[in-house]
Amino acid sequence: MRLFLLTALTMCAFAANSLLNRAAVDGGASDPAGFAVVRVLTGALVLSVLVVLRGGRLEMRGRRRLFGAGALSVYMIGFSAAYLTLDAGLGALILFAVVQVSMFVAGSLTGASPSARQWLGAGVALAGLAWVLWPAGEAQVHLRGAGLMAAAGVGWAAYSLAGRSEPDALAGTAANFVVALPMTAIAL
């Protein structure tokens, strides 16, 4: 029951992330660039404070850090910019399907043997994405927005896969946010 509740809470947080971003950029409260920078900045600040309070330190150098921060920036930029033209539900569907398929493909390319459940999950994600994006469908999909959200999904998948090798998840995440801040600001 505890796992179910934590999973439900996580899914609600993911949904809120999409709804808040869409409301901010579509409602005129912020432009996508500003909103992405604010998200990265607040993440960097909060996570860095947590690391310091725990007595840890941030490792800002190395290939792992550049890759993680770069993937995080791709996610943040694509996610924020896509919501100028996509509804929150459609954006979330594209994002989660692309993350699922990207992680599945990456696992397959690195020698992992996908289970039947993983094959099913990837198939459902891909079928759902194809159904929504199919030109004759009901949904009006802005191709630029869909492409930006797909890029965000690839960025999130790359970030998640890179995070598996972090020796200290909190410190690594905080450092990625700190390094991603100038990357995100310059890119936008």
Model pLDDT for residues 75-117, shown as the tens digit of each residue: 999 999 998 888 888 888 889 889 988 988 888 888 877 788 8
Q: How far apart are CA 67 and CA 70, in angstroms?
A: 5
pLDDT at 155 over 90: yes
pLDDT at 56 over 90: no
Q: Provide the residue range defining the domain that includes 26.
A: 2-187
pLDDT at 137 over 80: no
How many folded domains does the chain comprise?
A: 1
**What single-letter DSSP state applies at residue 167?**
S
Q: Which amino acid is at 129?
A: L
Residue 118 has a CB neighbour count (10 Å cut-off) of: 16
Q: Count Cβ atoms within 10 A of the Cβ of residue 109 and give its class: 0-12 exposed, 13-18 middle, 19 or more buried.
A: exposed
User: Positive or negative CA dihedral for 69, 70, 73, 75?
Assistant: negative
The overall longest dimension of the chain from CA atoms, in Å, is 56
CA nearest neighbour of 166 among 43, 64, 60, 74: 64
% of the chain at pLDDT higher than 90: 38
pLDDT at 35 over 70: yes
For residue 28, is it left (φ>0), alpha (ψ between -120 and 50) or beta?
A: left
Q: What's this model's pTM, rounded to 2 decimal places?
A: 0.85
Mean pLDDT value across residues 117-136: 78
- Please give the structure tokens belonging to residue 114: 């996908």
